[in-house]
Structure 1
Amino acid sequence: MNGFLAYLAAVEGDDERCVRHVDEALASGVAGTRWTLWARGMLDLGHGRVEAALSRLEPMAGGHHVAETRCVPDLVEAAVRLGAPDRAAGAFTRYREWARYTRQPWAEALVLRCRALLEDSEEHFTAALKLEGRPFEQARTALLYGEWLRRMRRKADARTHLRTALETFERLEAAPWAGRARAELSATGSAAPAAPAPGVLARLTPQELQIVRLAAQGLSNRDIAAQLFLSPRTVGYHLYKAYPKLGVASRGELGTIAL
C-alpha cells in the first residue's frame, strides 16, 4: 500500500510525501520495492529530471509485476527525451504484446502514445486521443502532442491540446505536469492561466523564461534539453542570452530572482 501511495504522491509532485511512503514501503519488505522504483522514477520524470528517471525505470521495466509493466510508457518518454529510444525498445515490445492480450482501450492508447514518441508520428498521437483513456494518461498524451505541435510551429493547434491537458492536471492536482503544460502554453505565445512574468522576467522570450525557470530548479542543461526537446548546446545559448537580461552572471545567481 505504501508503494502505491508513493506513486500517487509522485504524480502530485510531492517529494516529501513520496519519499516518506517509499521509506515505509521498503521497511515493510521486498513486496513494495517495485512500486517504489516506479514512484521515484515518476517523481523524477514529472520534475524534469529525465536522466534520473531513465536510470530508475530502465532496470525494472518490462517485467511481470504490475509496476514493471505499467512503467514502460514512462520509460519510453524518458528515453525519447534523452535521445536514446533504443534503451526502451525491448521493454516496449513486451508491453505492446501485453496490451494486445489485455484488449483494454486505455492500454492500447498508451501503446499508440509510445509509438508516436518513438516514430515521431502525429497519426499515432491522434489515434491515441480518440481511444478511451485514463484521465491522467490521456492528459499526458495531450501534453506530449501539444509539445510536438509546437515544435512543428503549429502553435494554434498546440494550444487546444495543451489547455485540455492543463485543465485535467489541475483537477487531479498533478502540479509538476500542470506546470509543464502551463510553460508550454506560454511558449506558444498564449496567456496561460497563471500570473504574468513580473518585472525583470518580462524581458525574457517565452523560451528563455522556460529554460531559466527549469535551471533555477536545479535541472542540468541535459535535463532541460530533454524536457524541451532541445540540444544541451541550445539550452546553454539561451541561458547565456538570458543572464544579462536578468542582471546575473551565472546559474547560481538565479536563486536571487523570484521566478
Structure 2
Amino acid sequence: MVARSPDDPAVREHALLGGMILGDDDAMLELAAAEVADRRRRGLAGALPGALGALAQAQVMAGRHRDAEAGVAEAMDIARDAGLNGSVRGLGGVLARIAAIEGDEDRCRELTGDASDAFDATVESALSLLDLGLGRYDSALRRLERAWHGPARHSPLLLFAAADQVEAAVRADRPERAAEPLRRFEEWAEATCRPWARAVALRGRALLLDEEEHYGAAVRMHGEGGRPFERARTELLYGEWLRRARRRSDARAPLRSALEIFERLHAAPWAERARSELRATGETGAAVARPVASDQLDRLTPQEAQVVRLAAEGTSNRDIAAQLFLSPRTVEYHLYKAYPKLGVSSRRELSGLESGADPSGGRFALNTADS
C-alpha cells in the first residue's frame, strides 16, 4: 500500500470526517479553517462550499452561530452560481440547526422542508432539537426513533442526537425507551474521551436515574471545555433538579450560567426555561429580565460580517475581494453599509470593536479570524 501525503485532498477530507466522528471540535475548526484558506489561495471556487460548510458545522458546535451563518451565506452563493444544488441543501442543514437552537420554527421548517433522502439525518436531528426546545417531547422522540431505524442511522449527526433522544424519552415519561440511546451514546463518549461528550453521557444517566451525583459530575466535566450549548443544557437540567429538591439557593448558580449561555446563543426557548426556573427559585431583577440585543455583529448581514472581519485584520479591499470572490466595488459597498451599523466611520476604528462575549466563556474581538 502506498502511503498518501498529508497534502492529498482526500487525506485532508478524511481527517475532517474523522474529527467530526470523534467529536473533536477543536481539530475540526483548525482543519476546516486551513482547508478554506488553502482553497481560497488556490482559487478553487467550486471546491470552497464544502470546506466552508465543514467550518460552519464546527463553528455551530463551538457556539459561533454568526460566523457559521456568514460562511454558509458565502458557500451558498458560490454553490448556486456553480449549479451545485446538493451542496446548497446540505448547507441549509447547518442553518437549520441554528434555527432549531434559537427556536425559530418557521425558519427551521423552511430550511428542511425540501431536503432529499440524502439529508434525512440533518433534517431529523434539527427538527427533533426544535421539538425538544419547544417542549414537544413525544414528537422529538418519535422523530429520532424513526430516524434511527431508517437509512441514515449511521450518520454521526444521529449518533450525537442520541443524547436528545434520552432527554425526549425521559421528559415524555417513557424512561424505558431512553436506555438504548443512552447506552449507544455512553459507549461512543467513552471511546472518544472528549470531555463534552462524557459530560453529556453523565447528563443522560442523571436524567434516567434522577441522581444528583451524575449531574454534579457532568457539570464539572463540562468545565474542561467544548460545546457551550450542551454545557448550558446540563446546567439547566441540574438547576431544575436542585429546585425540585427545594434547594433553591443551590439551583441559582447553574441556572444563571445556563441562562447567560443561552442568551449569547439567542436560544430563546431554552433561555426562557432557564429564566422561569430562576424566577421559581426567588431570583428577581436584572438576572431574569429579558435581554436587549447588543451584539454589534448581529446588526450586519452575513456578507457584511465577513467583509468587516477581514477589514479589521487589515486585509485590503482587493485581497478581501479575491478571498470572497467579490469585486472590490462590492467590498466597498459592504463596508459603506456596515460602518453606521457598527457606529464607526472608518476602517481604522474596526480593530477597536468587540462583538461581545464568546459563548465558550471568553471574549472574542471583531478581528478574530475564522479562516
What is the TM-score of this pair, normalised by structure 1?
0.71
Q: Could you tell me which of 252, 255, 258 is aligned with 1:162?
A: 255
Q: Which residue of 2 aligns with 1:58?
A: 145
CA distance in 1, matches of 2:148, 2:182: 9
> 1:162 touches 1:181 (CA, 8 Å); kept in 2?
yes
What is the identity, as a one-letter code, of the residue corresponding to 2:227? R
Structure 1 vs Structure 2 CA RMSD:
1.5
**Which of 1 and 2 has greater Rg?**
2
CA distance in 1, matches of 2:132, 2:184: 22
Q: Which residue of 1 aligns with 2:228?
A: 135
Q: Could you tell me which of 136, 139, 156 is aligned with 1:49?
A: 136
What is the TM-score of this pair, normalised by structure 2?
0.50
> 2:162 touches 2:184 (CA, 8 Å); kept in 1?
no
CA distance in 2, matches of 1:91, 1:76: 6
Q: Which residue of 2 aligns with 1:76?
A: 166
What is the identity, as a one-letter code, of the residue corresponding to 1:31? A
Q: Which residue of 2 aligns with 1:18?
A: 108
> 2:252 touches 2:278 (CA, 8 Å); kept in 1?
yes
CA distance in 1, matches of 2:267, 2:140: 17
After TM superposition, give the deviation of residue 140 of structure 1 in Å: 0.4
What is the identity, as a one-letter code, of the residue corresponding to 1:187? A
After TM superposition, give the deviation of residue 53 of structure 1 in Å: 1.3
CA distance in 2, matches of 1:52, 1:122: 28
After TM superposition, give the deviation of residue 67 of structure 1 in Å: 1.5
CA distance in 2, matches of 1:92, 1:186: 31
> 1:61 touches 1:75 (CA, 8 Å); kept in 2?
no
Between stretches 127-136 and 146-155, larger displacement belongs to 127-136
1:209-220 mapped onto 2 (5 Å cutoff):
none
The residue matched to 2:185 in structure 1 has which SS? helix
Report how many aligned residue pairs link the two structures.
192
Unaligned runs of 5+ in 2: 1-90, 291-371
CA distance in 1, matches of 2:201, 2:264: 25
CA distance in 1, matches of 2:264, 2:178: 30
Matched residues, percent identical? Answer: 54
Structure 1 runs, 4 residues or longer, greater than 3 Å off: none
What is the identity, as a one-letter code, of the residue corresponding to 1:194? A
Q: Which residue of 1 aligns with 2:24?
A: none
Q: Deviations over 1:22-66 (max 9, x none)?
A: 024x1xx32211111111111111011112111112222483211
Q: Which residue of 1 aligns with 2:195?
A: 105
1:1-259 mapped onto 2 (5 Å cutoff):
1-24=91-114, 26=115, 29-61=116-148, 63-131=153-221, 132=224, 133-191=226-284, 192-194=287-289
Unaligned runs of 5+ in 1: 196-259
